[in-house]
Amino acid sequence: AVKAPGFGDRRKAMLEDMAVLTAGQFISEDLGIKLENVDLNMLGQAKRVVVAKEETTIIEGKGTAQAIQGRINQIKKQIEETTSDYDREKLQERLAKLSGGVAVVQVGAATETELKEKKSRIEDALSATRAAVEEGIVPGGGVTYINLLPALNELAGKVDGDLRVGVNIVRRALEEPARMIAWNAGQEGSVIVEKIKSLPVGEGYDAARAEYGNMVEKGIVDPAKVTRSALENAASIASMVLTTEALVAEEPEKAKPAPAGPPGGGMGGF
């Protein structure tokens, strides 16, 4: 069994949404319908239903477009009339689930290894897209971090001692993504980084084409959420290391000596 989402009246409303989406009937004692009186004609249909631990996805429900649009219009009217920000947010979530739809991506490949690689790439792209929808996008290729350097340069002039050392460490760390991308492309990372610093905000190095330009126009972007989270998590780990003054790691395995070869055979009389 799948646990119904939400609570109270909101749960009933979401179940009614599912009934409309699947051309089923909402079964509730409030409507005078008891579970023992249910027959197959009351059940909804869908091409596919994916049940996971935390969520259930209904794909291609058999509800009519007219019924679904009517339900959407009803929710839109409720959004206009409500005065509660919380209720408006929940209504918008219901509206998105009804009108957003679900896409199915079929992955094919010649070998199982290639299939796993393609599937992994698609999952990464999906996660990046979800993150981009949440907080937007920023120029990729490490450009966004380099564009932050002027603010750190200004801060470095206002502090001294250990604080200035810390600012310089962060400043150096922000250059590393762009430096490593250039290095992996066979270029001198430090030269590329210095060139990017002189470019207008948003412009950087396209390693695939070995040219400079506007990263967004070239389609080289990163989700803002990923860029922000990476910096925050790195700062958190660095702070933890400074506090504990220790790291825990697996002990590297010692390389085993190569086995000795068989003794050489001699030839009598030589």
Note whether 179 and 194 are within 8 A (CB): no
Domains and CATH numbers, the chain: 8-100 (3.50.7.10), 136-244 (1.10.560.10)
**What integer is the mean pLDDT of 5-22?**
86
Residue 57: closest CA among 116, 8, 126, 120: 126
In single-letter form, the type of residue at position 242 comes to: L
**What integer is the mean pLDDT of 232-238?**
92
Confidence of residue 213 (pLDDT cuts 50, 70, 90): very high
Rounded to an integer, what distance in angstroms lies between the CA atom of residue 163 and that of residue 158?
10
Q: Which residue has the tokens 């001699």?
A: 266
On the question of pLDDT at 263 being above 70, the answer is: no
pLDDT, one tens digit per residue, over 111-163 is: 999 999 999 999 888 888 878 877 899 999 999 999 999 999 999 888 888 88
Note whether 17 and 94 are within 8 A (CB): yes
Confidence of residue 211 (pLDDT cuts 50, 70, 90): very high
pTM (predicted TM-score): 0.60
